[in-house]
């Protein structure tokens, strides 16, 4: 047996494990999505209904409402966290102890469990007794109804999500910034380029592929938001902050409409894959353009 | 040889003993509230000391309890022998066993609040009782008598329109908000609707449907009531809503009375001595909270489960549970205690009146969530009352009515003939 064959043989257990833990559940959920099955009515799967569950989900007004809100939240949160992450990375790039300490402290939101993040923010933003509004009131400023007003609750959730995941953007971009050859920056400075020009003409173009990669991860992650919604607003007021993840959770685990939840999960998976593909394509074009330059 | 026989006999008797102990073990799921769970542990210890089955009390927060119970049944885990729940378990009624034979054998319903063990009030499946009531509450309207007197308004309100008419006068005369309510718990808005709406919930064809005109009128009233909440009051937790009333920042409080009555009578609370529970407004019904005990169909030792049910839900500990743990007794004898009645004169009459009228809406979790979320949309001005109710009827038309709820609706007059 050749070395290559031995190596391939060594991969078999891992591949089998992957097939068992990843592909089997996926295939099973797709199979369920093509059948009529409400667990509360019967523990046995019902008849084959084809794409009926997909059609029903796509015609559900609450699902489409959740889709639009999820897209808004994902886009808003991704843009915010990428811009803030990039800014913080610029401010904290370097190797002295103060910068290292700053980076460590700024990472904290990311390592807190999202459920805890939601609970803490819900208490902080309680409109009548929360510390945020107490502070604003003491300063003579307005005291918004952060989680009780439908439009504002949507914005608030977007900001909370961005707050939690900005450190992820920061840490990746700090690494990207650190990898820029110092010679290039020094040469630009010697040629008389100011900070703004160096940022626009050197730093941003060089790190753009990484920025797009971070944006892709953030976007896909935000499309699946559930925990923060669950702990801050419970999807309310009314249906205002239902995300796709929350809609699927409610259908599948509260009402036990398991086949509809499976269909919606596949639609969400398709959305995430399309988003990731679009970003990767965009990144490839940028990189090709950079090579041509 | 003799030693081997001795050891074998010891092991065998040990196994038999542990088998007997296992057979007499009951696992009970209950809400972690500092009331029901504490009472359950107290009674479980007493039962065990008296030679009864060993009861393991597993307590969970409400939302977790609901999920744990349903998952335990549907997945066939069968961890619990007795479950604590209510009408919101309607989706999984087929997984419970009927208890009519045990109720009849021990004449268990004798002495309970009249009609409590009837469809629409407690839980049935295929005509057989599956839920045994043990803790009762019905939605209440608590008023600050001083603030209403200052505004020249009486303490009784026939319907929500009367409250809406009185609120501007109350706010103008007292300078405080008219109404407080736990608006941050989206399902609670249902209390206003169920009491204001006097129509049916299921049409003659057996499908969910509201009388559009009557429902739209009530939804419009709810939107009007929301304008009398305290400033930034559209997402108040139970604690915030209760505190607003207790501190004298609101003249009326619409909530579950058992959640706040003890606090309102605490020294140092502004509302102490200045509040009263009054009859709940509306021609519909006050929302009933009736905690019941259910035995899953998979439980084999139903005698052990029934022994626990009798100990926990029976009349023996009902008054103590009320006094020490503040959960409403389902037994008439508790309310015949004159000393208690005198002490509770500011809320017992209205509470008992509420118990006699209170019902559960015959709605599955999905149907009820859709209604209450839509009412929130209406109250927050995101959709008109007419459009919202039309949306409810449209969506309800696609939701199945669980047979047990159709049975309950027929029994409680909430289904069209």
B193 and B226 within one domain: yes
Handedness of CA A66, A68, A69, A75 (dihedral sign): positive
Query: Which of B77, B189, B232, B370 is the best mutation test for A, with the most CBs of A within 10 A?
Result: B232
Chain A residue numbers touching B380 (CB-CB < 8 A): 149-150, 237-238, 240
Our count of domains for chain B comes to 2
Tell me whether residues B376 and A237 touch, CB distance under 8 A: yes
Average pLDDT over all residues of chain A = 94
List C-alpha distances in Å: B69 to B73, B277, B297, B313. 6, 33, 13, 19
| Any domain includes B43 | yes
**Confidence band, pLDDT 50/70/90 cuts, at residue A42:** confident
pLDDT at A41 over 90: no
In this predicted structure, the answer to whether residue A89 has a pLDDT above a threshold of 80 is: yes
- CATH at residue B133: 3.40.190.10
Q: Which range marks the domain in which residue B85 is found?
A: 21-137+288-352
Complex-level ipTM: 0.86
Give the CB-side neighbour count of residue B173, counting CA atoms within 13 A: 15
- Domain assignment present for residue B256? The answer is yes
Give domain status of residue A10, yes or no. Answer: no
Residue B16: its pLDDT value, please? 43
Task: Please report, for residues A65, A92, A174, A215, B23, the alpha-carbon distance to residue A178 in angstroms, rounded to integers and kept in the order given.
Answer: 42, 10, 6, 19, 67
pLDDT at B363 over 90: yes
Q: Which chain B residues have a beta carbon less than 8 Å from that of A145?
A: 232, 234-235
Would the CB atoms of B380 and A250 count as touching at under 8 Å? no
Domain for residue B404, yes or no? Answer: no
User: What are the tokens at B103?
Assistant: 């109720």
Q: What is the pTM of this model?
A: 0.87
Report whether pLDDT(A137) > 70.
yes
**Helical spans, DSSP H, in B289-384:** 302-313, 318-325, 332-335, 338-343, 348-357, 365-379
Residues B83 and B50 in one domain: yes
Q: Is the peptide bond before A223 cis (omega within 30 degrees of 0)?
A: no
pLDDT at B315 (0 to 100): 95
Q: Rounded to a whole number, what is the distance in Å from the CA of B373 to chain A's nearest CA?
A: 4
B392 chain-A contacts, CB cut-off 8 A: none
Which candidate in B380, B397, B406 is best for mutational testing of the A interface (most A CBs within 10 A)? B380
Closest CA to B229 of B129, B379, B19, B378: B379
- Is residue B13 predicted with pLDDT exceeding 70? no
Q: Which residue of A has its CA nearest to B373?
A: A238
Contact A239 B377 (CB under 8 A): yes
Same domain (yes/no): B117, B224? no
In the block, residue with structure tokens 């929360």: A130
Look at chain A and report how many structural domains it folds into.
1
Full residue range of the structural domain in which residue A240 is found = 49-292
CA closest to A253 among chain B residues = B67
- C-beta atoms of B373 and A129 within 8 A: no
Return the top range by mean pLDDT from A89-93, B247-251, B410-414.
B247-251
Instruction: Find out whether B182 and B191 touch, Cβ atoms under 8 Å.
Output: no
From the list A43, A126, A150, the residue facing B74 with the nearest CB is A43
Residue B290 Ramachandran class (φ > 0 left, ψ -120 to 50 alpha, else beta): beta
- Give the closest-approach CA distance of B264 to chain A in angstroms: 19
Q: What is the pLDDT of residue B3?
A: 43
Residue B361 has pLDDT above 90, yes or no: yes
Alpha helices in B24-77 (DSSP H): 36-49, 62-74
The 8-class DSSP code of residue B286 comes to: P
Residues belonging to chain A with any Cβ–Cβ distance to chain B shorter than 8 Å: 39-41, 43, 61, 126-129, 133, 143-145, 147-150, 153, 233-240, 250, 253-257
Q: Write out the two tokens for A254.
A: 């509260």
The confidence band for B19, taking pLDDT boundaries of 50, 70 and 90, is: very low
Q: Which of A61, A115, A148 should we substitute to test contact with B (largest number of B Cβ atoms within 10 Å)?
A: A148
Residues B184 and B275 both lie in one domain: yes
Contact A149 B234 (CB under 8 A): yes
Would the CB atoms of B184 and A41 count as touching at under 8 Å? no
Residue B407 contacts residue B124 (beta carbons within 8 Å): yes
Res. B12 pLDDT band, cuts 50 70 90 = very low
Report, as an integer, the average pLDDT of A73-92.
96
Model pLDDT, residue B36: 92
pLDDT at A68: 97
**Terminus-to-terminus CA distance in chain B, angstroms?**
78
Identify whether B102 is part of a domain.
Answer: yes
- Residues in contact with B331: Cβ distance below 8 Å, sequence separation at least 6, in sequence order: B111, B112, B113, B315, B318
B309 and B329 co-located in one domain: yes
Q: Is B129 a domain residue?
A: yes
Question: Could you report the per-residue pLDDT of B225-257, keeping only the tens digit for each?
Answer: 999 999 999 999 999 999 999 999 999 999 999
Whole-number Å distance between alpha carbons of B266 and B255: 18
Alpha-carbon gap: B315 to the closest alpha carbon of chain A (Å): 33
Q: What is the pLDDT of residue B317?
A: 93
Is the pLDDT reported for residue A239 higher than 80? yes
pLDDT digits (tens, 9 = 90+) for B100-137: 999 999 999 999 998 899 888 899 998 999 999 999 99
Q: Among residues B296, B322, B352, which one ends one of the domains?
A: B352
Residues in A touching B231 (Cβ below 8 Å): 128, 143
Shared-domain flag, residues B323 and B339: yes
**Using one digit for the tens of pLDDT, what is the confidence trace for B260-306?**
998 999 999 999 999 999 999 999 999 999 999 999 999 999 999 99
State the CATH number of the domain containing residue A260.
1.10.3720.10
């Amino acid at each position: 047996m050749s070395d290559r064959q031995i190596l391939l043989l060594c991969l078999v257990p891992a591949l089998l494990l992957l097939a068992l833990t990843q592909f089997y559940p996926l295939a099973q959920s797709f199979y369920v999505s093509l059948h009529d099955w409400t667990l509360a009515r019967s523990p046995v799967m019902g008849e084959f209904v084809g794409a009926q569950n997909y059609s029903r989900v796509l015609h559900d007004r609450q699902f489409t409402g959740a889709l639009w809100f999820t897209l808004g939240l994902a886009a808003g949160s991704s843009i915010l966290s990428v811009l803030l992450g990039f800014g913080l990375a610029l401010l904290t790039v370097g190797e002295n102890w103060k910068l290292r300490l700053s980076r460590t402290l700024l990472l904290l939101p990311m390592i807190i469990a999202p459920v805890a993040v939601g609970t803490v923010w819900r208490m902080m933003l309680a409109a009548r007794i929360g510390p945020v509004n107490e502070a604003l009131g003491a300063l003579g400023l307005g005291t918004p109804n952060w989680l009780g007003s439908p439009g504002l609750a949507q914005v608030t959730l977007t900001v909370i999500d961005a707050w939690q995941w900005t450190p992820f953007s920061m840490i990746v971009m700090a690494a990207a910034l650190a990898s820029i050859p110092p010679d290039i920056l020094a040469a630009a400075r010697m040629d008389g380029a100011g900070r703004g020009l160096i940022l626009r003409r050197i730093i941003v173009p060089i790190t753009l592929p990484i920025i797009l990669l971070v944006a892709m991860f953030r976007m896909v992650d935000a499309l699946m938001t559930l925990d923060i919604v669950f702990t801050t607003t419970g999807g309310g007021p009314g249906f205002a902050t239902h995300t796709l993840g929350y809609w699927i959770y409610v259908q599948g685990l509260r009402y036990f409409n398991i086949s509809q939840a499976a269909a919606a999960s596949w639609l969400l998976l398709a959305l995430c894959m399309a988003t990731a593909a679009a970003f990767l394509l965009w990144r490839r074009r940028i990189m090709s353009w950079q090579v041509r330059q | 040889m003799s030693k081997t026989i001795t050891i074998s006999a010891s092991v065998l008797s040990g196994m038999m003993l542990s088998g007997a102990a296992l057979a007499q073990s009951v696992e009970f799921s209950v809400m972690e509230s500092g009331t029901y769970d504490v009472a359950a542990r107290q009674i479980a210890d007493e039962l065990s000391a008296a030679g009864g089955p060993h009861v393991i009390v597993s307590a969970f927060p409400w939302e977790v309890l609901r999920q744990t119970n349903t998952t335990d049944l549907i997945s066939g885990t069968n961890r619990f022998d007795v479950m604590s729940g209510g009408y919101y378990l309607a989706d999984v009624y087929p997984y419970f066993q009927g208890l009519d034979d045990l109720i009849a054998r021990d004449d268990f319903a004798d002495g309970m609040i009249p009609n409590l063990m009837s469809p629409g009030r407690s839980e049935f499946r295929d005509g057989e009782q599956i839920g045994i009531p043990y803790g009762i509450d019905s939605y209440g309207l608590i008023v600050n008598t001083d603030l209403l007197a200052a505004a020249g308004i009486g303490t009784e309100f026939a319907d929500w329109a009367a409250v809406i008419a009185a609120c501007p006068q109350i706010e103008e005369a007292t300078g405080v908000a008219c109404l407080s309510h736990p608006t941050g718990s989206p399902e609670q808005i249902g209390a206003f609707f169920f009491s204001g709406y006097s129509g049916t919930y299921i049409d003659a064809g057996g499908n969910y449907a509201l009388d559009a005109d009557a429902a739209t009128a009530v939804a419009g009233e709810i939107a009007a009531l929301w304008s009398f909440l305290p400033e930034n009051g559209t997402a108040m937790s139970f604690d915030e809503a209760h505190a607003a009333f207790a501190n004298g920042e609101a003249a009326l409080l619409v909530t579950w009375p058992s959640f706040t009555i003890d606090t309102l009578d605490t020294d140092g609370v502004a509302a102490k001595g200045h509040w009263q529970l009054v009859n709940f407004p509306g021609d519909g019904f006050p929302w009933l909270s009736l905690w019941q005990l259910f035995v899953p169909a998979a439980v084999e030792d139903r005698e052990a489960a029934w022994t626990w049910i009798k100990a926990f839900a029976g009349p023996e500990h009902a008054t103590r549970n009320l006094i020490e743990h503040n959960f409403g007794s389902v037994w008439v004898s508790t309310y015949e205690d004159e000393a208690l009645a005198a002490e509770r004169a500011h809320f017992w009459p209205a509470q008992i009146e509420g118990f006699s009228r209170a019902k559960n809406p015959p709605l599955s979790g999905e149907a009820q969530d859709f209604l209450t979320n839509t009412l929130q949309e209406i109250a927050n001005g995101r959709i008109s009352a007419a459009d919202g109710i039309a949306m409810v009827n449209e969506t309800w038309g696609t939701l199945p009515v669980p047979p047990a709820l159709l049975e309950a609706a027929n029994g409680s007059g909430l289904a069209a003939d």
